[in-house]
Amino acid sequence: MALTAAVADFVAGTDPARLPDAALDLAERAFVDTVGVAVAAAPDPTVRSIWQAFGAGLPDGPSALLTRPGSTQPVQAALLNGTAAHALDFDDVADDLVGHPSAVLVPAALAVAQQTGASGRQVLAAYCAGFQVECAVAAGMSISRHYARGWHSTATLGVLGAAAAAASLLALQPWQVRHAVGIAASLAGGSRQNFGTMTKPLHAGTAASDGVFAAMLAAANFTADPDQLEAPLGYFALYGDEVDLAAALAVLGEPCALSHRGLDVKKHPCCYKAARAADAALALAEDGVHAGDVERVTVTVEPEGLGPLIHHRPVTGLQGKFSLEYIVAASLTDHRLTLRSFTDDAVCRDPLQRLLARVCVTETDPPPDRAPDWADAFAEVTVETRAGLRHTRRVDTPRGHALAPLDEDELADKFHDCLDHGGAAHDPHVLLAGLRELRECPDVHGLLRGRR
pLDDT in tens, 255-289: 999 999 999 999 999 999 999 999 999 999 999 99
Count of domains forming the chain: 2
Given this model, what pLDDT does residue 84 score? Answer: 98
User: Are residues 201 and 179 part of one domain?
Assistant: yes
In Å, what is the CA distance from 11 to each residue of 160, 173, 215, 333?
A: 11, 9, 12, 49
User: Are residues 174 and 46 part of one domain?
Assistant: yes
User: Are residues 363 and 237 part of one domain?
Assistant: no
Q: Is the pLDDT of residue 445 over 90?
A: no
Residue 451 within a domain:
no
Please list, in sequence order, all residues whose beta carbon lies within 8 angstroms of the beta carbon of residue 290, skipping any fewer than 6 positions away. Answer: none
User: What type of residue is 60?
Assistant: D
Residue 421 within a domain:
yes
Task: Find the CATH number of the domain harbouring 356.
Answer: 3.30.1330.120
Residue 452 within a domain:
no
Q: pLDDT band at residue 450, thresholds of 50, 70 and 90? A: low
Residue 54 within a domain:
yes
Q: Is the pLDDT of residue 449 over 80?
A: no
Please list, in sequence order, all residues whose beta carbon lies within 8 angstroms of the beta carbon of residue 409, skipping any fewer than 6 positions away. Answer: none
User: Are residues 184 and 117 part of one domain?
Assistant: yes
Q: pLDDT band at residue 105, thresholds of 50, 70 and 90? A: very high
User: Are residues 245 and 132 part of one domain?
Assistant: yes
User: Are residues 168 and 19 part of one domain?
Assistant: yes
> What is the rounded distance in angstroms from the CA atom of residue 125 to the CA atom of residue 79?
21
Q: Is the pLDDT of residue 441 over 90?
A: yes
User: Are residues 207 and 331 part of one domain?
Assistant: no
Picking from 36, 202, 28, 218, the residue whose alpha carbon sits closest to that of residue 104 is 202
Contact 169, 109 (CB under 8 A): yes
- Kindly state the average pLDDT of the residues 70-99: 96
The per-residue pLDDT of the chain, averaged, comes to 95
The 359-363 sheet, strands edge to edge? 359-363, 294-301, 379-385, 390-395
The alpha carbon torsion through 49, 55, 61, 63 (nearest 10 deg) reads 20
User: Are residues 286 and 247 part of one domain?
Assistant: no
User: Are residues 293 and 169 part of one domain?
Assistant: no
> What is the rounded distance in angstroms from the CA atom of residue 223 to the CA atom of residue 204?
24
> What is the rounded distance in angstroms from the CA atom of residue 323 to the CA atom of residue 284?
19
| Boundary of a domain, candidates 362, 377, 395 | 395
**Containing structural domain, residue 136:** 3-267+404-446
Report the range of poorest mean pLDDT among 138-147, 331-340, 342-351, 367-376: 367-376
Given this model, what pLDDT does residue 451 score? Answer: 54
Residue 77 within a domain:
yes
Given this model, what pLDDT does residue 91 score? Answer: 97
Task: Find the CATH number of the domain harbouring 177.
Answer: 1.10.4100.10
User: Are residues 306 and 237 part of one domain?
Assistant: no
User: What type of residue is 166?
Assistant: A
User: Are residues 377 and 351 part of one domain?
Assistant: yes
Contact 106, 158 (CB under 8 A): no
Contact 98, 376 (CB under 8 A): no
> What is the rounded distance in angstroms from the CA atom of residue 342 to the CA atom of residue 353?
13
**362 burial level (CB within 10 Å; 0-12, 13-18, 19+):** exposed
User: Are residues 277 and 246 part of one domain?
Assistant: no
Q: Is the pLDDT of residue 137 over 90?
A: yes
- Kindly state the average pLDDT of the residues 96-113: 97
| Boundary of a domain, candidates 360, 377, 395 | 395
Q: pLDDT band at residue 64, thresholds of 50, 70 and 90? A: very high
